[in-house]
Amino acid sequence: MNGLRPTSRTRGAKRDDRLEARPQMKPEQPQEKSVQEEIIELRKQIEWHSKLYYQKDSPEISDWEFDQLFKRLLELEAQYPHFVTPDSPSQRVGAAPSLEFKQVTHRIPMQSLQNAMSEAELVAFDERVRKAIEKHKEITYVVEPKFDGLSASLTYENGLLTIAATRGDGSTGEDVTANVRTIKSIPLRLDFKKNGKRRPEPASGQTLDLFADLEDEQVESILEIRGEIFMPIEGFNALNEARAAKNEPLFANPRNAAAGALRQLDPKVTASRPLDFSAYAIGESKGIDVNSQWELLALLKELGMPVSDLARKAIGIAAVIELCREFAKNRDSLPFDIDGVVIKVDSFALQAELGEISRSPRWAIAFKFPPRRETTQVVGITEQVGRTGTLTPVAELAPVRVSGVVITRATLHNEDELRRKDVRIGDTVEVQRAGDVIPEIVRVILEKRPQDSKPFVLATQCPSCQGPIVRSEGESARRCINASCPAQLKEHLTHFASKRAMDIENLGSALADQLVDKGLVRNVADIFYITYEQLLTLDGFADKSATNVLASIDVAKQRPLARLITGLGIKGVDEGLARVLADEFHTMEDLEQAALTPLEANSKAEDPLLNITDVGQVIALSIRDWFAQDSNRAMLTLLRNAGVRMDSDVSIIERDDRFLGKTFVFTGTLTKFGRKEAEELVRQRGGKTSSSVSQKTDYVVAGTEAGSKKTKAEKLGITILSEQEFLDMLQD
């Protein structure tokens, strides 16, 4: 996850144990029983540690160690697919893509709620409830936040998540089980036994025995849990930022983003999106014994389901209204979007008595918050230059307060959107905080348009550098193509120093602006050559602040390769892909070499970039383009000369002089381990690995069906090892 190093040597020892055991395994008689035991043990550990991590936020092991457990499980399951079970944590990374969603009929329809748009309507609702049950005393209600996401139904059979479906039209939804399995807060298996009794929580330090009482649980139990799938605002922002960096269209709000993520035919895409879930109801159920909504929420929580801790009990409608006001007041400070409050009669007996009316329950109502829109005037239209040169038209607004936040600008997204909405300077417009994040213009109020107004004409030159602007066919973005455009450089420098890249503390956009404007930085590498005296010439800098910035810059020199790659700002290479590239190539030199290898020299299958699962044609081309530019390679030289680290975290567990500093290339099929595992064994001993053969290669390990790499190694006179010889080398 983030390159943490192992804290002890025990892992290395474990690996060696396995290694010694392996060669004795005969392929025709695999020790299936011990493999199954290992798989079960791994799953238990992974479930336990991810529970600590995701639900309790108190991990006991490092991310690196967790990744190792996970990798081992994936490896074993790939080798022994018949041991894969639907509740294996491996299913969370996403199953194979499907062509369409299957339909699921809800055995109990998922009803929609009546809405209340005002407090008066809440009072009327309470009167109807009390009249219907002929009681005049105060009713006990449960008041819950109304998540702005998508309703979903999760069916657990004997504690196991078997079907997840969207609400659809209420009676038929879509089967999104594979996608929902990737949502980490949703348990794949409930701590559930018959009669709703739960399995005891293991004491700290003990592992959770998920497979105990398995026979006992053959008693049939069904529990259909309903709730909302949503995307937290922080995750939504990060997703949109990543999309902006890749020039992909942005999601308008977290709900749209959640819907887009859930309706992916490829569950791996869903797995990469930050979805969350909050349970609030049950549908069909057997073996559950609760009498009220309040008890139900408590039970769901006990079973391990995520349940909002914002739910409150209220006696009488006055108390309900008080809570609604509180929710409305606090909605902006919540880490997720809510679009209202749901009010339910607490008692299930009363709910049954009240029944339903025109497909809505009579015992519940949704209090909707008023939309967050205001009108204001457009005082100007400008274009912002992004890190990759993308121009985003922005409406400059007369300041207006929209639900607590003063808005002075609203995005117009791109040229087409500007044309479609026909926003003009002087227009009165309705603005809203879309998804509470990026303010946008909802519509132009045409009645208020000045008579002499003219359609806005976009500039033909970059507002920052006056360079030419192009719009490529099939792209929605206009782009400044001047490589030394100062606006792009400012954005790039800010990105380079950001938390996700080189993490240079104290270097934000304000300092980046000054450094570029004063000509102290002409490319991001220059930041490592800034002097104390130069910093003192900047506005607001004194001895202490200058010293602090220099110290932060110095610390950043030691960031691992993945962060440096992220910081380079290669189009299409985000944090995730940067990590993949760093894991694959380990040094900047090897990545550069791969990117500069002429494409013709390799068949597609042999291309070191295209060989990586996550790299497609477009990204491979983008990486090649980047390294092909002289200015970029010159920048790398500057970075290198400044002492910036150019390799990834290597955890040498067992230093071995025969491996130390030697470069290994693997080719063909290995029988005793996967290629990744073999490469890791080399690196753990201090060796290096590469995906292509060159003069710098020390050993080529050739498995069966070794191809052109072996031939090339023979030509270059490089030592070729058989798998057995490599194995002997490891074990001596």
Residue span binding Zn ion (CB under 5 A) among the ranges 118-126, 362-370, 484-492, 635-643: 484-492
Cβ proximity to Zn ion, 464 vs 667, nearer residue? 464
Choose among 236, 305, 263, 104: nearest CA to 179: 263
Q: List strands edge to edge, sheet with 114-116.
A: 114-116, 364-368, 338-345, 140-147, 312-315
Cβ proximity to Zn ion, 212 vs 459, nearer residue? 459
557 as an active site residue: the answer is no
Residue span binding Zn ion (CB under 5 A) among the ranges 195-203, 242-250, 454-462, 638-646: 454-462
DSSP 193-262: -GGG--PPPPPTTSPP-TTTTTTGGGS--EEEEEEEEE--HHHHHHHHHHHHHTTPPPPSSHHHHHHHHH
Task: Give per-residue burial for 40-77: e unless 16+ CB within 10 Å, then b.
Answer: eebbbbbbbbbbbbeeeeeeebbebbbebbbebbbebb
Residue span binding Zn ion (CB under 5 A) among the ranges 98-106, 279-287, 485-493, 532-540: 485-493
Residue span binding Zn ion (CB under 5 A) among the ranges 183-191, 314-322, 468-476, 480-488: 480-488
Locate tokens 């009803």: which residue? 111
Strands (DSSP E) found in 488-584? none
- Say how far residue 403 (Cα) sits from the centre of its chain: 28
Cβ proximity to Zn ion, 509 vs 694, nearer residue? 509
Q: Out of 26, 51, 146, 518, pick the active-site residue.
A: 146
Least distance from Zn ion to the Cβ atom of residue 481, Å = 8
Least distance from Zn ion to the Cβ atom of residue 465, Å = 4
Is 477 among the residues that bind Zn ion (CB under 5 A)?
A: no
Any residues with CB less than 8 A from the CB of 725 and at least 6 apart, and which? none
Token pair in block for residue 500: 């996700």
Least distance from Zn ion to the Cβ atom of residue 701, Å = 49
Residue span binding Zn ion (CB under 5 A) among the ranges 246-254, 320-328, 483-491, 719-727: 483-491
Cβ proximity to Zn ion, 381 vs 465, nearer residue? 465
Residue span binding Zn ion (CB under 5 A) among the ranges 200-208, 452-460, 481-489, 612-620: 481-489
User: Under DSSP, is residue 11 helix (H, G, I), strand (E, B) or coil?
Assistant: helix
The size of the interface with Zn ion (CB under 5 A), counted in residues, is 7
Least distance from Zn ion to the Cβ atom of residue 474, Å = 22
Residue span binding Zn ion (CB under 5 A) among the ranges 70-78, 426-434, 467-475, 678-686: 467-475
Q: Which residue(s) pair with 366 in the sheet? A: 115, 342
Least distance from Zn ion to the Cβ atom of residue 397, Å = 24
Choose among 368, 376, 386: nearest CA to 440: 376
Distance CA 331, CA 335 (A): 9
Least distance from Zn ion to the Cβ atom of residue 469, Å = 8
Binding marks (x or -) toward Zn ion, 337..376, rule CB under 5 A?
Answer: ----------------------------------------
Burial class (CB in 10 A: 0-12, 13-18, 19+), 544: exposed
CA separation, residue 108 to residues 111, 305, 363 (Å): 9, 21, 17
Choose among 662, 588, 574: nearest CA to 622: 574
Member of 42, 73, 412, 465 binding Zn ion (CB under 5 A): 465
Q: Which residue(s) pair with 146 in the sheet? A: 340
Is 485 among the residues that bind Zn ion (CB under 5 A)?
A: yes
Instruction: Give φ, ψ of 497 to 5 degrees.
Output: -85, -5
Cβ proximity to Zn ion, 273 vs 490, nearer residue? 490
Least distance from Zn ion to the Cβ atom of residue 510, Å = 20
- Check: CB of residue 227 under 8 Å from CB of residue 151: yes
- Check: CB of residue 424 under 8 Å from CB of residue 456: yes
For residue 611, which amino acid is it? Answer: N
Cβ proximity to Zn ion, 166 vs 488, nearer residue? 488
Residue span binding Zn ion (CB under 5 A) among the ranges 73-81, 213-221, 461-469, 520-528: 461-469
Member of 158, 292, 392, 464 binding Zn ion (CB under 5 A): 464
- For 541, the enclosing helix (H) or strand (E) is none
Choose among 493, 358, 384, 371: nearest CA to 442: 371
Least distance from Zn ion to the Cβ atom of residue 467, Å = 4
Is 462 among the residues that bind Zn ion (CB under 5 A)?
A: yes
Token pair in block for residue 217: 């649980």
Choose among 626, 618, 684: nearest CA to 11: 684
Cβ proximity to Zn ion, 485 vs 615, nearer residue? 485
Instruction: Give φ, ψ of 535 to 5 degrees.
Output: -65, -35
Member of 254, 267, 467, 572 binding Zn ion (CB under 5 A): 467
Least distance from Zn ion to the Cβ atom of residue 185, Å = 43
First-to-last C-alpha distance (Å) of the chain: 32
Fill in the DSSP letter of residue 687: -
Cβ proximity to Zn ion, 210 vs 487, nearer residue? 487
Least distance from Zn ion to the Cβ atom of residue 490, Å = 11
Least distance from Zn ion to the Cβ atom of residue 497, Å = 20
Cβ proximity to Zn ion, 330 vs 484, nearer residue? 484
Cβ proximity to Zn ion, 435 vs 467, nearer residue? 467
Member of 279, 282, 480, 612 binding Zn ion (CB under 5 A): 480
Distance CA 478, CA 350 (A): 60
Query: Which of positions 149-208 make contact with Zn ion (CB under 5 A)?
Result: none
Choose among 408, 414, 388, 415: nearest CA to 242: 388
Least distance from Zn ion to the Cβ atom of residue 461, Å = 8
Cβ proximity to Zn ion, 462 vs 730, nearer residue? 462
Q: Which residue(s) pair with 222 in the sheet? A: 157, 286
User: Rg of the Cα trace of the chain?
Assistant: 30
Write down the number of H helices and E strands in the chain: 24, 24
Least distance from Zn ion to the Cβ atom of residue 486, Å = 7
For residue 581, which amino acid is it? Answer: L
Cβ proximity to Zn ion, 461 vs 711, nearer residue? 461
405-411 vs 160-166, strand pairing mode: unpaired
Choose among 239, 243, 245: nearest CA to 488: 245
Cβ proximity to Zn ion, 305 vs 462, nearer residue? 462
Distance CA 24, CA 21 (A): 6
Residue span binding Zn ion (CB under 5 A) among the ranges 80-88, 299-307, 460-468, 545-553: 460-468
Q: Which residues bind Zn ion (CB under 5 A)?
A: 462, 464-465, 467, 480, 482, 485
Active site amino acids:
146
